[in-house]
Each structure stands twice: as C-alpha cells, then as structure tokens.
Structure 1
C-alpha cells in the first residue's frame, strides 16, 4: 500500500500557471500534518523526489515544477532565484498558507530554497515579527551553498559570487557539462531517452522506478514526433548565471548565515561524486571544511557512496536525506501538536 496519495494541480503565477505535485499522506498522527516543500534542480522536475516522499510517511509533500521545466515549461521568464522563490511562495500560499513548511532543495533547488528562506527572514525583520516562522530549514541536498569556480577558494566562499569576470558559458560548461548539452539533443522515442540515461555514468547501477518516471515526465514532444528535454535553454542559462551572480541569493545567504538561530536551521548534505559520478563531488571536501569553519551552527552531512543524482535515489542517500528532513520536521511537529 502506498504511503501517499498523489495529485497534480496548477497555481496562478506571473505569466501563466505553475504545475504542482502534492503527495498527501494516507495516514498521519494527531495534530497538524507536517508539510514539506521540495524544490528540484536546474534540469529536473518534482517527480525526482518521489523516493524521498516514500521515506516520509505521515508527511505532506508539495513539489512544484519550476518555470521553464517539465509541466511548467511554457511559462516565460524572468527566471532566476528570486523569480522561482516568488513562484514557490505562490504555491505555498495556495496549499499551506498557515505553515509551517520545511523547505528542501536539491541542486539549484537549494539555491531557490535559501533565497526563499532569506526573503522571508528579511521580511520578518522589517515587520518586527516572526510571522509564526512560516519556513523551516532549509535542507540543502548537494546544492544551495556557493559552488567552487575552479580557482583557489578565498577565505569567504561568498566572495566567489562577486567575481565580475565570470562568463555564463564557462559556468555552464564547468558545472553542468553533459546536463547542459542534453537540452539541445533530440530523441526518437521515450526508450531512446531512457537508453541515454542508462548509459550515463551517474546511473551505472540502472534506472529505478523513480528515475524512470521522472525522465519520462521530463520529455516534451516536438512537431516532427521526436522528443526533447523540457527545460528551456534560456531558463538554464539565466538560472546558472543567477546562482553565481544574483543579488537575491547572495543577500539571502548572508541573512540566513548571519544569524546563529537561522544558521542552525540549515542542514547541508553533499554527495561524494559529481554529475558524472567522478570525484570529488560538486562540493570538494576542502570546500565543505571551509563551510564548517565559517558557519559552525549549520548541520553538515557527508553522504558517502552517492553522486549528485543518486543521493535522491539510493537507499543510502534517501535515508540520509529523510533523516535530515525529519530532524527539521521534528521541531515543527512538536510545536504543532496540542
């Protein structure tokens, strides 16, 4: 028996409607049902979290498809972390207006989650209220903290976001690599697309049901009856640059990490290997050590044996992610039960 009932909805946002998947728990304990919002990566969609959802019985999970991707692919720009954070806010206004909501982001979704958390914290500060602490976390899964640029790290990782000489094409090539190349490819059938991933070094152990369903959902049909990945190149380029140079994310990071209380809410999980299952991962050990020194209140989890993708697919990865999410839900649930 499934632990959740799943349905898909649409929410009004600037420029159109955002597609949202909602997993409602089949069974839950007394009091308010804890709610989690999962935010996917730059070329992904909400179904990539289905394995994590199964590890969170009794928890309501809300997962939007970010604009320019999957079932939200026809939504136009502007893109960027602030735009996505505003879209997610509209989703949560519709499905969880009272909160509290634990924010969970994978890859770029971590940057969106951090931006949303920082925007909310800044608003609370300006109004002099805690707004019932609407958001908890965020839980960052191999994303959401400054990425290395291939040059020596400064004493402050945030400084790397201020390099005016950064080139967007170089950023995409350095960080996303084959993931970016895939967006320009066409596939004759769904099976051909799945074969592409089956040969991908990050999926050498095969595609499980979650990965398969997420990849199939990702495909968009073209007029010539072929298929292409749904993420728009424009969205990927704009979001890639904004992760490094966007002011909204940088300000949010400084807001959250500048307070011991909000910093202690953050959990950062990082994979041992990167997008092509090579070592080191997106976040090399020396960089995560810098994070630990600079932000000592933040929880850091080294998820050994995983890569950037299967941290949300393998038992080891899902267990670690579920434990991190549950650690944030725990405080939330304790306060919700009368």
Structure 2
C-alpha cells in the first residue's frame, strides 16, 4: 500500500532490547529481511531519525537503528558516554543481529563518528560503511572553548534539552519553527519528534540527556586527531554523503568541500558524494532519504 504522495509507508519499527555492558539499550528494527544494517543517529536524536530511509529499503533488508546511551528509549542508560562507548554498543548490535554474515554500518552526524570508530576497531565485522554528513575531523582552534563552540554550533538542538513544554503539540511546534526542518516538514520528521517526548502532561521534555549530549559534543570537538587516525587506517569500503547546507538550513555546510576533498585524498578507503538540495537534517529525513537507502544497500568504496 502506498501513500497519496506515492511513497510506501515506513515500516513500523519493532522495539528490541540490546543488553550491553551492565545495562540495556533500545533498538528500533525497521523491516524484517535477512540483510542487516546497523545505524547510529545524531547527537541529540534517536533511532527514529532513520524512518525515512527505512521507507525506501528493499524488502530483503532490516535496519537496526540503535538509540544511543542517553537518548530515545535508551535515555536512562547510564554513562560514561563518549564515542568509544557508543562504538562498542554498535559492535554489540552488529554481533547480535548480524548472524555471522556481513553487516552494513551507517551513521549520521555524531553517529557517523561513532560508526567510523566501530568500523576502525572491528573492520572484519562490517561489509561497508556509509557516513551521512559526518565522520570527518573538525579541528578546534587551540584557544577555543569547546563548551562555547558546542553551544554556538548546536543552537536550538541543545537549548531544548533544558526546556519543558505544556503539551506534545507545543514540542512539535518548537521543531516546526526550526529553519532546517519546518520548511521541509513531513510525517517522518513528525514521528521522530514525537518519539523524543517524555515527562508528565504540562511538563513534557526531550528524552535526550543534556549530560550525554555535552560530553559527546566535547569529544567531537576535541577528538579530531583520533578521527583522522581512524579514517587514514580504515580497512572498510566507506562512502560519505554530504549536504550543501548546515545545521540551520543554510551555508556553510557541516562538512565544507575543501575538508571533504582533503580527507578523500588522505583516506584510501573513503569516497564521497555530494547530495544536492538538502541540509544536515533533511539529507536523512527528507527527500534525499531515498538516495541514502540506495547507497546503503549498494556496494561502494575503494577498500
């Protein structure tokens, strides 16, 4: 069955529990096919951000979108957080549902750095890696304050974590006002927003834990050298999809073209593809989700 716009409905996510290192994470399984992909979301997001991609996957695929520690259905999973911890959790997910066969790994934004670290640490576990507008080192000037840079770059995404909302609709309206989301609103974005809600009526809030977001954000800004090492030594065929517009739906891009060119020259396993007419969020949750799905299931790379 298809929707009025011609797209088939996104598969209803099947919630699963993943035991990891003394706690349990929530994983959303989209689809029921035997081919396996594991996905990691952005810094304050959840596995529901991959619903639009799942809509376009062939029937023989299953996408396991992990709610990382401190987010979504894993919001109560304890810290410490950090890229290494999240990467270890992705490896556990791949081993749990990969059935010993090849697993495709993907991540968007912060999730791209997590997926990169997982592939660098356990290259034999993954058939290929798809990075979505993330994964390249973002050097921090020596005199910069990571917390100040984090606040300036994340903007509304960080501000909402300390706020409460009178109703679900008030929270949805907050996202509708976001310049990178509101003009491109669709049912996948709305489902993603509603999945993020928790708390009593009259004091609804995001499930993402501010402490987790801040710790992980600092690592993204201060860990450029380690991500460069991961990329340079990567053994897994890797494709980067990158958007022309950034976190607020306008230039500059999250990954400037010069940075992309530098790392495709430095990392033998890395190739890149520019995805036009999208921003940091809509590359995953807007019309380009069909491109992401196609690249996810198609062999690529130089590895």
TM-score w.r.t. the length of structure 1 is 0.80
Match of 1:127 in 2: none
Please say if 1:167 is aligned against 2:145. yes
Higher fraction of helix: 1
Match of 1:35 in 2: 36
Distance in 2, Cα, partners of 1:66 & 1:212: 20
Q: After the TM superposition, which segments of 4 or more aligned residues of structure 1 sit over 6 Å from their partners?
A: none
- Decide whether aligned partners of structure 1 residues 36 and 199 sit closer, same or farther in structure 2, where only a CA change above 3 A counts: same
Partner residue of 1:77?
Answer: 79
Match of 1:128 in 2: none
**Pairs within 5 Å for 1:1-338:** 1=1, 4=11, 6-25=13-32, 33-57=34-58, 58-121=60-123, 133-147=124-138, 149=140, 163=142, 165-222=143-200, 225-246=202-223, 250-251=225-226, 253-258=228-233, 262=236, 265-295=237-267, 297-315=269-287, 317-328=288-299
- What count of residue pairs does the alignment treat as equivalent? 294
Structure 2 counterpart SS, 1:116? helix
Q: Unpaired segments of 5 or more residues in structure 1?
A: 122-132, 152-162, 331-338
1:39-73, Cα deviation, whole Å (9 max, x unpaired): 10011011110111111112111111001001110
Structure 1 residues 60, 50: closer, same or farther in 2, change over 3 A? same
1:3 Cα deviation (Å)? 7.2
Give, in angstroms, the shift of residue 138 of structure 1. 1.6
- Indicate how the Cα distance of structure 1 residues 143 and 252 shifts in structure 2: closer, same or farther if over 3 A, else same: closer
CA displacement at 1:119 relative to structure 2: 0.9
**Equivalent position SS for 2:183:** coil
Q: Could you list the runs of 5+ residues in structure 2 that have no partner in the other structure?
A: 2-8
- Residues in 2 aligned to 1:17 and 1:182: alpha-carbon distance in whole angstroms: 25
Cα separation, partners in 2 of 1:292 and 1:95, compared to 1, 3 Å: closer
Structure 2 Cα separation of the partners of residues 136 and 254 of structure 1:
20
Q: Residues 63 and 166 (structure 1 numbering): CA distance in 2 closer, same or farther, change over 3 Å?
A: same
**Aligned equivalents of 1:136, 1:171: Cα separation in 2:** 35
Instruction: Compute the displacement of 1:322 (Å).
Output: 2.0
Change (3 A) 1:174 1:291: farther
SS in 2 for 1:210: helix
What value does the CA root-mean-square deviation take over the aligned residues? 2.4
Q: Provide the rounded CA distance (Å) in 1 between the counterparts of 2:188 and 2:206.
A: 17
In the alignment, what sits opposite 1:333?
A: none
Q: TM-score, normalised by structure 2?
A: 0.89
